[in-house]
Structure 1
Amino acid sequence: MKLAVALVCLSVAVMVVMIYQAVRQEMNLRDLKSRMVENAAEVKRKEESIVETKGKIQTLKQDVLAVNKKVDALWETKKTKTNSEAEFKKNLASCNTEKASAENKKTETGEAIKKLQDEQEVAKKKAEEDIKSLKQQILDRDKAICAFVDTTKEEARKLCGITETPK
């Protein structure tokens, strides 16, 4: 009987341990199920945030592409403006050389005009002197003729400058 009591006690102890293990496993299973539901919800939230982040990344990539295109366009315009600036500088340099040569021609022309004016003045003075000497020669000739001219004729009086009529 002792054996039966010991066996009953032993079987009750084994049953209590088994019930304890079953309850513990059941609690673990409930805990795991609740954690699994929480993890599933958390995974779903993270997946949604990942999808949202992917969408934001796509829009940012599109924005970056648009900005890169604008940057490329700006580089091109800068390049063309730099080229046109170089052309303008080249044209400016050629215009400056043309201006300098035109100014040189202007000064040369001014000097030539001044020289011609001086020569003209000299020629004018020489011509006036020649005219005076010719007038003097004519007057001298006229005086020589007046000595021999008949003063009774009106033309002769005009030529010699006589105003009174002869008697």
Structure 2
Amino acid sequence: MKFHAATEPMGDVWLSVQSDSLDNAAYLAWLRSAGDRVGAVAEFTGFVRADGAGESLIVAIELEHYPGMAEAAIQNIILQAQERWPIHRVAVVHRVGRLKVGDDIVYMGVSSAHRAAAFSAVDFIMDFLKNDVPIWKKAVLAGKEEWIAQKKSDKDAKNRW
């Protein structure tokens, strides 16, 4: 099943779980278009990396999600960020499907009057996304595939909030 990008943001949130490529330039333009009140935009883009060693080197990943639940979980995280920091707009776009090394996986951006709020909100959203959103990752290695378990470091990052 192919999941397509949200073609338009809803209010001050652009949220999509999709198999289509990311369009970082479009997300940034939208984040900045909130007007004269925007003084900062913080962005994060995650990529597939060739993790591992020797024969165990990752050549691709497969990302699966629970449609509807994943988007609802991300929306809840965004609402929490909006309650914590004075932010204007939020864009979270996460890809699913088979992605090769070097492909982009996730984009998130936050606009705010000040950089501290934008940086903190992006960091918070990413920490919670990695822990609370039903998106699962399978590593495609030379000759085998294996599900990737949640890392303790990701749990620790979330718990600092």
TM (normalized to structure 1)? 0.15
Bigger relative contact order, structure 1 or 2, given CA contacts below 8 A and separation 6+? 2
Look at both structures and tell me which one has the larger radius of gyration over its CA atoms: 1
Which structure features the higher share of helix residues?
1
Which structure features the higher share of strand residues?
2
